[in-house]
Amino acid sequence: MTNAAEFRTCPITGKKVFKTTQNLMWINAVTAVVFILIGGIMALLVALTRWPAVHLLPADLFYRFLTAHGLNMLIFWIVFFEIAGLYFGSSVLLNVRLATPKLAWLAYLLMLVGAVMVDIMVFTGRADVMFTSYVPLMAHPLYYLGIILFAVGALIGCGIFFATWAIARAEKTYEGSVPLVTFGLTAAAIIAVFTLSAGAIIYIPTFLWSLGIIKNLDAAMYRLIFWGLGHSSQQINVTAMVSIWYLLGALTVGAKPVNEKICRTAFVLYILFINLASEHHLLTDPTLSSAHKIANTSYFMYLAVLASMIHALAIPMALEVAQRKNGYTKGLFEWFTKAPWGQPGFPALIFSLFIFGFIGGITGVAYGTEQLAIKSHNTWAMTGHFHGTVVGGTTLAFMGLTYYVIPLIFRRELIGKKLATIQPYIFGIGIVLMSLGMGAAGTLGSPRRHWDVTFAVSIIPFSFDPTVILFTTVAAIGAMLAVTGGAIYVLVSVLSVFFGRKMAANEAKII
Amino acid sequence: MKKEEDRISGWQIFYDDLSLLFLLGMVIPAVIYLLWGVMEYANAPTAVIAP
């Protein structure tokens, strides 16, 4: 049962937007932007240190800020945004009230308290353990407790998504199958439950170990279970990002998949197999058998890669069909050249798709083979790979969507539309330069997570090929551009959310 | 008898079954990645330090 006063009807989509959903989306999305700001400042400082011409920070601060950069970007920014996305995909797209809003607020508080605890521990130097916190490196117990609280909060958020799905089905607020975007977000939520459970399995004993209650933790066993969290959390991102690609396609040119069954099949392949990619981090571990490695990273993981290739064809096809229906039928590429490149959502979608597929995806599949992993795993090439997936892919897609969520859901007009329009270009070009620079320098042997890339103060001197410095500089210039793009995103979204003109209830304007 | 276009395919029934998708999404990585990996580590021979 719903009270009509609790919701408004979107003048564009006709969907019900419940006040509780809107508030919870708002708080989660705004919090996400705060964490991308913290992570972005850390990115700037880390990039200026990896750049030999600047070499800004001392070693201890470099590793501390690199830890903070990883946690704030890979976990806090993205998961807060995804929780906002899950509430949108369930309550708004299924036309139903959000299940247990009070519990959703509790989930938010747990995530916030957890994230703040982690950041305090890291910035005060009590958790210099990097993103992976591999044992026997030990952080302060509150660091592990913070991550556990954050994971529990996010798990509750996923539970609320499923409960809202169930209410919508019971109240018959939709017909047939759920919309494709909701289906994709369902896949992301299922992947998230496995991921966060793996996090709980490993971080609870690690927390007890840091308190001295457990005397010994097996380092190999830690790595195995940690990557059930560490890598799988990036698979939540991939799945949510692909869902957002479909949404951005619909919002920008009215795209609908030509064959939705194929797209749903691809999401199911993600649910079944994408989490097995965690094995990539263990390919150089001699204890595990080749059977375990090959079964996970080759046979089964390739079914998830197949899913990505299906999406990579389905989305451009949907865009082309929609554009041709819009009248752009001349030649092979008028549909592409006459696309809405002046709206932030379209370049964000295309750059995200291109960078994820051609830089992040292809390198990921290649480095995910046992032979190449041995050569590349601890090099900067790996950093280039995952900046292509998580930053150029996921973050850019989330940024593009934000410019539509602000007017459609938060009912505020964008401030700085021109800045918003150029932002995906600046950010996208920056990430391309950065990922390619990292990849090239890494292929020539430049190490990842390393303060002294020229080995200038190393006891054993070593000199790289000078092209490594060239590619490192390209990566640094790319990083500066990406940070500029990130700063524009934060500026436009914060100004718009707090000071943008309030839109009238019946104002049908997307951007 | 239902018309052909009204018939819901088996695949669609599977895709609409949230519980089954959830179960498979938990069991497959738990068995193939986690449990299998834990068993391999647990059964790894202990290194002997030469005297």
A43 touches chain B (CB under 8 A): no
With a CB cutoff of 8 Å and minimum separation 6, the contacts of A452 are A59, A458
Q: What number is the average pLDDT over the span B10-26?
A: 94
Is B41–A183 a contact, with Cβ atoms under 8 angstroms apart?
Answer: no
Q: A3 is written with which tokens?
A: 């009270």
* Distance to chain A for B48, nearest Cα, Å: 15
pLDDT recorded at residue A4: 47
B34 and A225 in contact by Cβ < 8 A? yes
Q: Measured between CB atoms, which of A177, A271, A279 is closest to B33?
A: A279
User: Which residues are registered as beta bridge partners of A16?
Assistant: A9
Domain spans, chain B: 4-42
> What is the least distance, in Å, from the CA of A290 to any CA of chain B?
11
Cis peptide bond prior to A466, omega within 30° of 0:
no
Chain A residues in contact with B12 by the CB 8 A cut-off are: 177, 261
Mutate to test the interface with B, among A155, A190, A265, A278 (most CBs of B within 10 A): A190
How close A292 gets to chain B, by Cα (Å)? Answer: 7
* Residue in this structure with the two tokens 């840091």, named with its chain if needed: A210
CA distance A45 to chain B (A): 36
How many other CB atoms are found less than 10 A from the CB of residue B24? 16
C-alpha to C-alpha distance for A328 and A341, rounded to whole angstroms:
14
pLDDT at residue number A95? 94
Task: Tell whether A99 lies on the interface with B, counting CB pairs under 8 A.
Answer: no
Q: Among partner residues B14, B22, B28, which is closest to A273 by beta-carbon distance?
A: B28
Residues of B in contact with A261 (CB under 8 A): 11-12
Tens place of pLDDT for every residue, chain A, 511 residues?
455 458 888 888 888 899 999 999 999 999 999 999 999 999 999 999 999 999 999 999 999 999 999 999 999 999 999 999 999 999 999 999 999 999 999 999 999 999 999 999 999 999 999 999 999 999 999 999 999 999 999 999 999 999 999 999 999 999 889 999 999 999 999 999 999 999 999 999 999 999 999 999 999 999 999 999 999 999 999 999 999 999 999 999 999 999 999 999 999 999 999 999 999 999 989 999 999 999 999 889 999 999 999 999 999 999 999 999 999 999 999 999 999 999 999 999 999 999 999 999 999 999 988 889 988 989 999 999 999 999 999 999 999 999 999 999 999 999 999 999 999 999 999 999 999 999 999 999 999 999 988 888 888 888 888 999 999 999 999 999 999 999 999 999 999 999 999 998 888 777 7
Q: Is A271 on the interface with B (CB under 8 A)?
A: yes
| Residue A509 confidence (pLDDT) | 78
Residues of A in contact with B34 (CB under 8 A): 198, 224-225, 228
Q: Would you state the structure tokens that stand for residue B11, as one six-digit string?
A: 């695949």
A194 and B36 in contact by Cβ < 8 A? no
Which chain A positions have a beta carbon within 8 Å of B29's beta carbon? 194, 228, 232, 275-276, 278
- Cβ of B29 within 8 Å of Cβ of A261? The answer is no
Q: How far is A141 from chain B (nearest CA, A)?
A: 25
Mean pLDDT to the nearest integer, B15-44: 96
CB A85 within 8 A of CB A185: yes
Residue in chain B closest to A158 (alpha carbons) equals B22
Q: Which residues from chain B sit within 8 angstroms of residue A287, using beta carbons?
A: 40-41, 44
Tell me the torsion sign for CA atoms A457, A458, A463, A469: negative
* H or E, element range at A18: strand A16-18
Is any Cβ of chain B less than 8 angstroms from the Cβ of A296? yes
Decide if A279 touches B, using CB distance below 8 A.
Answer: yes
Determine, for residues A228 and B33 on separate chains, whether the beta-carbon distance falls below 8 Å.
Answer: yes
Nearest to B36 among A261, A264, A292 (CB): A292
Residue of A nearest to B31 (CA): A276
Q: What are phi and psi of A34, to 5 degrees?
A: -60, -40
- How far away is chain A from the Cα of B6, in angstroms, using its nearest Cα? 11
> Which residue from A113, A104, A106 is spatially nearest to A21, judged by alpha carbons?
A104
CB B25 to CB A296 under 8 A?
Answer: no
A231 HSE (CA, 13 A, CB side): 23
C-alpha distance from B36 to closest chain A C-alpha (Å): 7
Query: How many A×B Cβ pairs under 8 Å?
Result: 86
Q: A177 CB near a chain B CB, below 8 Å? A: yes
Alpha-carbon span A494 to A500, nearest angstrom:
9
* pTM for this predicted structure: 0.94
Give dist(CA A151, CA A450) in Å, integer. 29
Which helix (H) or strand (E) element contains residue A8?
strand A7-9
Of A264, A276, A287, the CB nearest to B29: A276
A228 touches chain B (CB under 8 A): yes
Q: How far apart are CA A192 and CA B2, in angstroms?
A: 39
pLDDT at B3 over 80: no
Residue A266 contacts B, CB cutoff 8 Å: no
For residue A392, the model assigns a pLDDT of 97
